[in-house]
Structure 1
């Protein structure tokens, strides 16, 4: 039993390290145009049913009023906005800062198909975007 627990623990740690490496890779090694400000990419979940595609983006501390959501010319969903530092950060000594600040942008290639209406809502620090497939009965 102890051997199984150690494998589960090591597997969990390995997955966390891979997720963190992927996050750092997206933040650091993403080519940026010289005229564009540096930005971060929020993590997402992409789900598909017979009638819709749903994208859930983690946006803790982001004002939903400043978020833009659209489908670009290449057929990908684009989510952009900004996360401003909390006022407390201006007068505090920061010991650790893991939540990214500033501009963010995430381009999400979508599954093949045609999409009609786009709905989105912000709740509990996440943005949920629902793309309704064109021609699907509801």
Structure 2
């Protein structure tokens, strides 16, 4: 027979605190907006790779169609804006939502120089951008 000590109340408090911290980190990953009604509600995560005069940007946009995304260069900033619509029908009972939806915007500071967008395409749920320094 294995004897197990029942969990103390401090163990439960620690477990709840860890769950709250994990939830907070998850929300931080998507950087939820500050509740501006017409502003973006989330920022998609990105990867950036630089090779010579070429800058490759990968923006994670699961479930977003190319028609719902705009990309432009504003001075020294690459701007990606759009919307991920809620994929569930209005009458559906939502059990869990972890992938953010709604209006998004991501502003990416570019390295010094003048950049031109050469390629923009959706691949495997990600927006792949290729920028060339002029």
User: Is TM > 0.5 for Structure 1 vs Structure 2?
Assistant: yes
Q: Please report the TM-score for the alignment, with normalisation by the length of structure 1.
A: 0.70
Cα drift, residue 22 of structure 1: 3.2
Give unmatched runs, 5+ long, in structure 1.
Answer: 1-16
> In terms of Rg, which structure is larger?
2
Give unmatched runs, 5+ long, in structure 2.
Answer: 1-21
Q: Name the counterpart of 1:132.
A: 132
Q: How does 1:1-138 map to 2 (within 5 A)?
A: 20=26, 22-23=28-29, 26-29=31-34, 32=36, 36-73=38-75, 75-86=76-87, 88-134=88-134
Partners of 1:79 and 1:98 lie apart in 2 by 21
Aligned residues: 112
Superposed CA RMSD: 2.2
Partners of 1:103 and 1:57 lie apart in 2 by 15
Partners of 2:133 and 2:58 lie apart in 1 by 17
Partners of 1:116 and 1:81 lie apart in 2 by 20
| Structure with the higher fraction of residues in helix conformation | 1
Does the C-alpha gap of structure 1 residues 44 and 50 become closer, same or farther in structure 2, counting only changes over 3 Å? Answer: same
